[in-house]
């Protein structure tokens, strides 16, 4: 990290410490975690830019854009004008921290396109990309399984359990 970045991280951690009454030992842990994350991002960013220049991909497909490594991949791809697309992989909405961007219009660390299960998910989620970049593709696996199902309507009660919270 550059000295300026280190100062910024220290200031952020100090403000968090004051606001949430965090002791110095824990503030040091938070500082080290953030500093290491930033350093890892910078290292991986250079690595991915070098890799992408070498292999020249036309498109990068992502399955979980909010992971630290995927932020780095998307940023490197964006800087090299390589398109990125994420395929929806689960629950999305205003209560999912990975997909709740409020009024942010564009992030270099978010994919260029998002393939989504349907309009309900699009309407429930605040995303940092233009409307025309949200592509509704349905959920082919689920739709095929429903079509193959032998269960007749009204014959039994079905309960759906989601592994991610959503409301």
101-131: per-residue pLDDT in tens?
A: 877 888 889 999 999 999 988 998 888 999 9
On average, the pLDDT of the chain sits at: 88
pLDDT in tens, 40-49: 999 999 999 9
- Could you give the angle at which helices 24-55 and 68-79 cross, rounded to 10 degrees? 40
Tell me the pTM: 0.77
pLDDT above 60 for 138: yes
Position 98 scores a pLDDT of: 84
pLDDT above 70 for 39: yes
Please name which of 62, 116, 129 lies closest in space to residue 88, comparing C-alpha atoms. Answer: 116
């Amino acid at each position: 990290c550059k000295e300026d970045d280190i100062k910024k991280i220290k200031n952020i951690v100090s403000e968090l410490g004051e606001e949430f009454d965090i002791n110095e030992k824990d503030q040091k842990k938070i500082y080290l975690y953030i500093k290491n994350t930033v350093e890892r991002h910078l290292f991986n960013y250079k690595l991915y830019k070098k890799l992408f220049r070498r292999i020249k991909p036309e498109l990068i497909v992502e399955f979980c854009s909010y992971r630290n490594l995927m932020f780095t991949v998307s940023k490197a791809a964006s800087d090299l004008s390589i398109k990125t697309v994420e395929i929806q992989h689960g629950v999305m909405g205003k209560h999912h921290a990975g997909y709740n961007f409020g009024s942010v219009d564009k992030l270099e660390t978010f994919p260029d396109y998002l393939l989504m299960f349907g309009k309900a998910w699009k309407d429930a989620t605040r995303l940092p990309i233009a409307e025309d970049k949200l592509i509704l593709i349905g959920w082919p696996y689920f739709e095929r399984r429903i079509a193959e199902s032998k269960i007749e309507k009204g014959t039994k009660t079905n309960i759906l359990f989601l592994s991610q919270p959503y409301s």
